[in-house]
Amino acid sequence: MSDAIHLGFDLSDPVLAAAAWSRLIEPGDRAAGVLLAERGAVEALEWLASGSTAMPAALGDAAAWRGARERWLPRLAGLDPRREMDVLARLGGRVVLPGDPDWPGGLDDLGVDRPPCLWVRGGRLRPRLDRSVAVVGSRAGTAYGEHVAADIAAGLVDRSVAVVSGGAYGIDAAAHRGALAARGCTVAVLAGGVDRFYPAGNADLLAAIEGAGAIVAEVPPGSAPMRSRFLSRNRLIAAMTRGTVVVEAAWRSGALSTAARAAALLRPVGAVPGPVTSMVSAGCHRLLRDGSAVCVTDAAEVAELVGSLGEDLAPDGRDDGGARQESTGAPPEGLDPREARVLEAMPLRGSAGAESIARTAGLSVGDAQVALAYLELAGLAERRGGTWRRVRP
């Protein structure tokens, strides 16, 4: 494991390196996120290929990284992202990297959950996604729910708002269709590779979406739409839009995870009510009951929910999150329990060393350092020499 691995492509090409990372990891691999944010895709890949067990600076001791390396190394041998890029090129697609003009700025709010790149077919993502809303819901939507989803999507398009969804049967498909019927822009974010339109029954719809908007995935062509990837995909839908609306969702529904992700990213969440006798509205009513969502019944109310999508929009799409975070004053959501513990363990005034913080938090120094690195990326902690201090949001 300490021997260098020879890769058959140009490691120094940032596009190839990012594409390689999207193949090496499963979506939402936070250790990779920390590494890539710290080092960039090229340097991180060189480090991994070198077989070096020396730690990336300031990311804690090697032990903390062993697990991550062991996840990534099996996919490293024989890795060649040029194959996937060739498949994509034949389909007229492209790879979009963080910082590219076409990169959806909202994804940067994901911090270390940010994907290394996006695989895209169709038209440009920006500025369209700067004015976009996610309309999601149950695969088993009723005629009522599909009608409302299409109606809301069409109304959003009339307000020059792009409609983002997951390309699935039911509510997702109805939302895409409503946007297409109103000749607007709609974007489907898939859990598998963009080379394969899944589900197959929506192939024609997805082709139309490619023509009128775009098809997006964080996994490379050839990747199967596995269950875990659906849940990870939902964070992209939540992050790249200005708000999420759930039209119909059963008590336990993937659409609720999109709503939860959106809420954690401080994006407004709306839920469309329905008959209380309908099981596929139970999830929406649950969101309304526990205050996680605002009741919305038409496109005008959705537009009101997400607020002004116009001239006050910051170029990177982060203004909204920032403002809300500031106004609440509460510790930001979206931290995992370990990160929240580390944040809590940091002194309110002054600074402390990682070892002291780890002791207070009851964590290993390595775990605390990983969490501190994430908190730094999230703008909540700041390194000063060998110590850490809080940053007021």
Going from the C-alpha of 26 to that of each of 33, 192, 228, 240, the distances in angstroms are 11, 11, 9, 19
340 contacts: CB under 8 Å, gap ≥ 6: 331
**Hey, what amino acid is at 319?**
D
Pairing of strands 214-217, 186-189: parallel
Q: Are 163 and 153 in contact (CB under 8 A)?
A: yes
Q: Which is nearer to its own copies, 75 or 289 (CB)?
A: 289
Tokens 């390309």, residue? 167
Q: Which of 26, 46, 56, 144 binds its own copies (CB under 8 A)?
A: 144
Q: Which of 18, 79, 148, 260 binds its own copies (CB under 8 A)?
A: 148
Q: Contact, 18 vs 44, CB < 8 A?
A: no
Cα end-to-end span (Å), the chain: 41
**To the nearest whole angstrom, how small is the minimum distance from the Cβ of residue 307 to its own copies?**
15
Rg of the chain taking only CA atoms, in angstroms: 21
Length of the chain equals 393
Minimum distance, C-beta of residue 165 to its own copies, in the bound complex (Å): 19
Question: Using CB under 8 A as the criterion, what x/- string covers residues 295-334 for binding its own copies?
Answer: xxxx--x---------------------------------
Closest approach, Cβ 254 to its own copies, in A, equals 21
Residue (of 74, 81, 125, 88) closest to 104 by Cα position: 125
Nearer to its own copies, 253 or 369 (CB): 253
The least distance separating its own copies from the CB of residue 275, rounded to whole angstroms, comes to 6
User: Minimal distance in Å, beta carbon 158 to its own copies?
Assistant: 17
Contacts with its own copies, 260-299, as mask; x by CB under 8 A: ------------xxxxxx---xx--x--xx----xxxxx-
Least distance (Å) between residue 279 CB and its own copies = 11
Residues touching its own copies: how many (CB under 8 A)? 20
Closest CB 250 distance from its own copies, rounded Å: 13
Q: How far is the CB of 268 from its own copies (least distance, A)?
A: 13
Q: Which own/partner contact pairs does 332-335 have at CB distance under 8 Å and 24+ positions apart?
A: 332/266, 332/378, 332/380, 332/393, 333/263, 333/264, 333/266, 334/111, 334/264, 334/265, 334/378, 335/375, 335/378
Nearer to its own copies, 58 or 181 (CB): 181
In terms of CB distance, is 217 or 272 closer to its own copies? 272
Nearest to 24 by CA among 238, 112, 33: 33
What does 349-378 look like in DSSP terms, one character per residue? SSEEEHHHHHHHHT--HHHHHHHHHHHHHT
**Please, which residue, 77 or 143, has the CB nearer to its own copies?**
143
Complex with its own copies: residue 35 or 296, whichever CB lies closer = 296
Binders of its own copies in range 74-113 (CB under 8 A): none
Which residues contribute to the site for its own copies (CB under 8 A)?
A: 144, 147-148, 272-277, 281-282, 285, 288-289, 294-298, 301
